[in-house]
Amino acid sequence: MTLLYALAFTVLSSIGFLIFYSRIYVVAMENLDDELRAEVQKYASLLENSGIKGIRAAIVNEGKFEDPKDGFYRLLDLEGNTLISTKMSWWQTIADQHAMATLLKSGLTSEIQTLSVKGQNDRTRTITAMLSPEYALQIGESLREVDAYLDIFLKLFSVLLTCLTVASMFIGWLLAKWATSDMQEVTSTAEEISKGIYNRRVQVTGRLKEIERLGTTFNRMLDRIQALLKTMKEINDNIAHDLRSPLARIRGIAEMHLLKESSVENYKEMAASTVEECDVLIEMVNTMLDITEAEAGVNSSQHETIELTELIIDACELFRPLAQSKNIDLRTNLPASLSINSNRKKLQRIVTNLLENAIKYSPEDKTVAVSTSAENGEITIEVEDSGCGISEKDLPHIFERFYRCDRSRRLGGVGLGLSLVKAYTESINGSVHVKSTFNQGSCFTLIFKR
């Protein structure tokens, strides 16, 4: 990054300088050419007013060039012979270049060229111009001053470019270090997490927006992974716990009967309770499998037209004896007929689970009401009870696997009923919602598309 930055900076600076340098060169040349043209103009007027004598006096006294090496003036005839001139010893090689012939051949009245003095490292800007039909004037001005001036620029720029390249490398290095220091933080966090320190998070500095976003997203991902790990651990603990208790009970009863002489009646009792415990375990494992299947979308539901009112009445009849045993008033508020396109088996399990909970978590003499309604293309099923209710702390968790509110522990159940309700409802394109007030009652609402 540092090298690329320095390279880009150097290339751009060099291009910038080249443009600047060539512009200065062109402007210097244009100024010089304008001066030379003005000088020719002056001599043409002189020839007109004072004749060849005036020209001679002007060239001989020419004060423009204190040093003959600074430039020259000379009057030429049409053959290119020098009639009058300043000291030409330094410019002899230029004089030999037959500029006059070139001018006449080209048919122009004046021509400006840059010529080199043979054998010297010296250049001259030369104008050859017709003063009258018989005479031409040639003025040469050394480019030594211009070259020296441009040379200073060249040297200055070389030094400047070197300093700037070094400075840009340093600045680039600082910038790269600054930009990647936050990345370094993300990398070191990832390394620590890979070593098992799961609660480590990226310290977001907010210096660079992109890296801040990366850090925040990374932290959010870590939070989610940590929450998932926690849930998985809880599920594992719960499975272990819920499997251990019935297994320990089965083992305990069997051991007890082995240690003492038991009658056939006692053995029958043992067998019956073992079957009961095994049924609980089988039920639990089956429910787990049902939830997993529904969540994974395996065996996608077979839908059919179902008479919902009939299905709910059947379910209520199933639970009526249980409700009566607690003197619970099990009421229904259903239309005479309401059909829904859904999966019968799943809908039955959903309704019976909610009914079972409503009766289970209601003390004696309370009310459980089931109602349905159809509005705006949606069918709503409500199972409402005036039972123990769910605390605010527990409410967000009741649909989680194996979650049981503390005070329900003494009642039967493994905490999978509502997880199954949620998984089944969502697998048949519905949603489940709950409203509950602690010690007053709960209302579970199922919403399905018609």
Residues that bind ligand ADP (CB under 6 A): 357-358, 361, 385, 387-390, 398, 403-405, 408, 413-419, 442
Torsion angle of the four alpha carbons 19, 24, 27, 29, in this order, in degrees rounded to the nearest 10: -110
Rounded Cα distance between 441 and 145, Å, is 103
Query: Cα angle vertex 363, ends 360, 368, to 5°?
Result: 65
Give the residue from 60, 81, 50 showing the smallest Cα distance to 73: 60
DSSP letters of 79-93? Answer: T--EEEES--GGGHH
Instruction: Write 220-226 long-range contacts (CB < 8 A, 24+).
Output: 222/193, 222/198, 225/198, 226/198, 226/199
Residue closer to ligand ADP by CB (options 128, 419) is 419
Residue closer to ligand ADP by CB (options 25, 399) is 399
Minimum separation from the CB atom of position 194 to ligand ADP (A): 36
**What distances in angstroms separate CA 308 from CA 169, 352, 374, one per listed residue?**
77, 13, 11
Residue closer to ligand ADP by CB (options 71, 387) is 387
> In the chain, helix, strand, coil percent, each to 5?
60, 20, 25
Minimum separation from the CB atom of position 238 to ligand ADP (A): 11
Minimum separation from the CB atom of position 441 to ligand ADP (A): 7
Residue type, 204: V
Residue closer to ligand ADP by CB (options 47, 420) is 420
Per the DSSP assignment, residues forming a β-bridge with 444 are 383, 434
Provide the pairing of β-strand 123-130 with 110-116.
antiparallel
Minimum separation from the CB atom of position 317 to ligand ADP (A): 20
Minimum separation from the CB atom of position 396 to ligand ADP (A): 11
Residue closer to ligand ADP by CB (options 122, 356) is 356
Minimum separation from the CB atom of position 421 to ligand ADP (A): 7
Residue closer to ligand ADP by CB (options 59, 388) is 388
Minimum separation from the CB atom of position 299 to ligand ADP (A): 22
Query: Both tokens of residue 446?
Result: 């199922």
Residue closer to ligand ADP by CB (options 54, 413) is 413
